[in-house]
Amino acid sequence: MSQSAVNKDSTPLVSVIITCFNQAAIIEDSIRSVLEQTLEDFECIVVDDGSTDGSVEVVNRIARSDPRVRVIAQQNAGVSAARNAGFRVACGEFIQFLDGDDLLRPKKLEIQVAQLQVEPTAGVSCCDHEFMKRDSGEITWYKFPEIERRPLRQMLEDWFRTASLPVHAGVFRRSIWEAEELPFPPDYHGRCEDWVFLVLIAVKGIEFASIPDKLCLYCIEEESFTAGARGWNAAVISAAAYLEPRIPSEVAPRFFMNTVEATLDRYLQLNKPDVLRSSLNWRLGRSLSWPVFLFRDALRGFILSLARLFRD
């Protein structure tokens, strides 16, 4: 450890908050990606959210060898509650969230903290990210539009079409939140918590600064792009229903219904092969379009009915 590393008794510049739930086989990789940062002035708070697979033992072993790592164990309460638990005890001026299955590139903290230090009006530094398949190690990159300086409209209108920002791609000033405020709203218990989290930051008018460097990895299972599409769509609609009364109506007219339509488009895109395979015309090698449109219209009616239930 170099002389620039934080002293155990000093206040760290950055608090890295890692959440872990039954990730004994991979949590060490995530922690090591933090310990290998070129900026060493940090604390690493690992919040174990009620794991039953030995994750705590893995983290404790690492903590015994590096004083920057400490462990909080709690009963299972979900990722948002775990992040809030880490945030409550965090001391750093800057906050880095990280899930126990994702990874940071070695220079991430150094580059993004430096950006925030030279751009005092920015409250968030955003970097680019890559996707890594856990089973094969294959890494892919998709070009997304740069996050805008004040991205509220972008997050509300484009989030499930063209825009993307994993929570661990950001470094956040702790001063974004008031003294007793928690970053993840305790009254929201659904999925899509990262989207809710980022929208609520943008609602505050916080400026986002962007860096084009690919400084983190979003790790996925091989089948995760298409698995659970139905549940994911319901989660997005539920999150939109939570956000609707919390955003200025003039920012994104028809926000709720636009979100419903975006989830429908994504569902159709993911399931189009199955739709086409079930079509007699596909089997005969004829027109592919009309059965998809019929299916889309029927599904749209169903999802709009479901959306109204969430909204009410």
pLDDT in tens, 252-300: 888 888 888 877 777 676 665 555 555 444 444 444 444 544 555 555 5
pTM of the predicted protein model: 0.84
The amino acid sitting at 187 is: D
Task: Kindly give the interhelix angle for 79-89 and 193-203, rounded to the nearest 10 degrees.
Answer: 50
More confident residue, 307 or 200: 200
Q: Which domains does the chain have, with CATH numbers?
A: 14-220 (3.90.550.10), 230-311 (no CATH)
pLDDT score of 290: 47
pLDDT in tens, 19-62: 999 999 999 999 999 999 999 999 999 999 999 999 999 999 99
pLDDT score of 298: 56
Read off the tokens for 65: 């060898």
Instruction: Let me know: does 263 contact 160? Beta carbons within 8 Å.
Output: yes
Radius of gyration, alpha carbons of the chain: 21
Beta strands in the chain (DSSP E): 14-20, 42-49, 69-74, 94-99, 103-104, 122-133, 139-140, 170-173, 207-220
